Amino acid sequence: MIPEPAQSDQLAPQVPQMEASEFAAIAEYAKITFGLHLPLAKKEMVFARLIRRLRRLGLQDFSTYLAYIKHKDNAEERSEFLSALTTNVTQFFRENHHFEFLRDKLLPDFIAKARAGNRIRIWSAGCSAGQEPYSLAMLILDSCPDAAALDIKILASDIDPRILDIARTGEYPAEQRAAIPAALHRFLKPAASPEMFAIDAGPRNLISFAELNLIEDWPMRQGFDVIFCRNVAIYFDAPTQARLWHRFSQQTTSGGHLFIGHSERLSGPAQAQMRSVGITVYVKNPSP
């Protein structure tokens, strides 16, 4: 006798499948909107991350979800989509050799220039929750206590408005304190919660936070002496990466430096415009 299916099987909700055409449409949208590279090999990952969003929203299938995120009123879900497919992982003084390079090789000259009345601009592009720009700001103030009175500024941008809200708050869980060199702890202060600490006004005042999608137009007109764009381009496909490096090269001052992530490499026209001067550190060549 063939047994009857168990009652619970009959009631089990249908798990939506991700059709090949749906994956292709999602990948196309992610590329056009965010520059994300989602090859077919990532289909399982995309399914696993987005199925949670479908469930949360009570949507039946991925085509409906795609239509939902494309709707002009659903910017918040677009952020959720991006967050689900990328990571905001960051930390204070991540890849510390970059900060040592900046402190030892670049800051002395920047400080002299700033004290002579020149502007110095640093951009943390894809700054996530702010640990990268705050690390930069603390380092600058440590070498240049009068930085607030000079024209030294840091732009910190990210595509994700929610992560920028955290960055602006400048409060972090106590366990992240250990990544900050003890000599810089004077730039920290207690936060309202005993489990958190806060960045003091000095470093905060050097930074402006802004929402910016790196694959769209940039509003900045002037050049940057230093650009940190680390662990962001890894999500982009090869042509998008090459275009980004080229745009960074255009956006740096003569002799300006670009710092990229440990698994990233310069490609495309920027290879002729910048040269390597350290581990994933590049300097712009003088104009011919």
Ligand X SMILES: C[S@@+](CC[C@H](N)C(=O)[O-])C[C@H]1O[C@@H](n2cnc3c(N)ncnc32)[C@H](O)[C@@H]1O
Interface positions with ligand X (CB under 6 A):
34-35, 86-90, 94, 126-128, 132, 158-160, 163, 213-215, 230-232, 235, 261
**CA nearest 248: which of 278, 215, 276?**
215
Q: Is 266 helix (H, G, I), strand (E, B) or coil?
A: coil
CA dihedral 49, 50, 51, 54 (to 10 degrees): 150
158 is catalytic: yes
Burial (Cβ within 10 Å: 0-12, 13-18, ≥19) of residue 288:
exposed
Instruction: State the residue number with the nearest CB to ligand X.
Output: 90
- DSSP helix/strand/coil, 116: coil
Residue 179 near residue 93, CB atoms below 8 Å = yes
Q: How near is the Cβ of 32 to ligand X at its closest, in Å?
A: 11
> Least CB distance from residue 116 to ligand X, whole Å?
31
Q: Which is nearer to ligand X, 132 or 171 (CB)?
A: 132
- Cβ–Cβ under 8 Å, residues 280 and 259: yes
Least CB distance from residue 61 to ligand X, whole Å? 26
Question: ∠ CA(76), CA(127), CA(280), 5° rounding?
Answer: 135
Q: Whose Cβ is closer to ligand X: residue 131's or residue 252's?
A: 131
Query: Shortest gap between Cβ of 209 and ligand X (angstroms)?
Result: 12
Dihedral over Cα of 283, 160, 214, 41: its sign: positive
> How many Cα atoms occupy the beta-carbon half-sphere of 285 within 13 Å?
11
- In single-letter form, the type of residue at position 15 comes to V
Kindly name the residue from 49, 115, 177, 204 that is annotated as catalytic.
Answer: 49
Minimum CB separation from ligand X for residue 96, in Å?
A: 12
Q: How many CA atoms lie within 13 A of 109 on its CB side?
A: 9
> Between 62-70 and 20-34, two packed helices, what is the crossing angle to 10 degrees?
20
Catalytic annotation, pick one of 78, 94, 158, 160: 158
Residue 47 or 235: the one with the smaller Cβ distance to ligand X is 235
Whether 119 is a known active-site residue: answer no
| Closest approach of ligand X to the CB of residue 12, in Å | 36
Using the minimum distance from each CB to ligand X, give the nearer residue, 2 or 89: 89
Residue closer to ligand X by CB (options 111, 233) is: 233
Q: Which is nearer to ligand X, 186 or 265 (CB)?
A: 265
Catalytic residues: 49, 158
